[in-house]
Amino acid sequence: MSASTIIFYIISAFILIAGAVAVTARKIFRAAIGLLFSLVGIAGLYFWMEVNFIAAVQIIVYVGGIVVLIIFSIFLTQKSGEEMPKPIKSRKIFSILAVVLGFAFTCSLISLQTFKVNTNAFNVEVAEIGNQMLSTTEHGFVLPFEAVSILLLAAMIGCIVIAIKSKPETK
C-alpha cells in the first residue's frame, strides 16, 4: 500500500467520523462543528487530488460562508445551548436500516462497474474554470452559479428572520 493510498484513507476516515458527529450529536452546536470538520476534510481531499482551486472554493464558500452562517444562526436562537430531544427508537432502527441498505446498494453498483486508471495529467487552469462557470453555452455553469447565490441570499434572509424573532413574554 502506497503512502498516497494511506493518506486517502486517513482523509476519508476523518470525513466519515466528522459526518457521523454532525448527524449524531445531541447539541446543535456540536453538530455544526462536525459539519465544519467534515467540509474541511472534503477540502483536504480536493487538495490531495491536487485540485487546488476547487479546494479553495470549498473552504471559502462552504466552510467560510455556509457553516459560519449556520453557527451564527444557532447563537441567535433562544435554544442554542439546550440538547435536542432524543430520537424515537423506531426512527433509530429505520435510520440504521436505511444506512445499511444504502451501503449495500452502493457496493453492488460499484461492483458492477469497471474502473480504468487514467494516466492523463489533470491540469485545468483557473481562467478556464472561470470562463466555464460564467458561460451560457451548452456546457456552461452560469445557472448553477446563480442558484448558489440565491441559496446564500435565502440563508442570510433566514438568519435575519431568526435574529429579529421576538422572545416569548415571561410572566
126-170 pLDDT, tens digit each:
787 778 777 888 777 778 778 878 887 887 787 777 667 656 666
Calpha distance 37→45 (Å, rounded): 12
Structural domain that includes position 44: 3-164
Q: pTM score, two decimals?
A: 0.66
- Three-class SS of residue 113? coil
The secondary structure of residue 84, as a DSSP letter, is P
pLDDT band of residue 50 (cuts 50, 70, 90) is: confident
Calpha distance 143→133 (Å, rounded): 9
Asked if residue 123 belongs to a domain, the reply is yes
pLDDT at 167: 60
Asked if residue 42 belongs to a domain, the reply is yes
Cell of 100: 445499511
Asked if residue 169 belongs to a domain, the reply is no
Asked if residue 61 belongs to a domain, the reply is yes
Domain count, the chain: 1
Cell of 55: 479546494
User: Which residues fall within 8 angstroms of residue 135, CB to CB, at 6 or more apart?
Assistant: 141, 142
108-127 pLDDT, tens digit each:
998 888 878 777 776 677 78
pLDDT at 101: 94
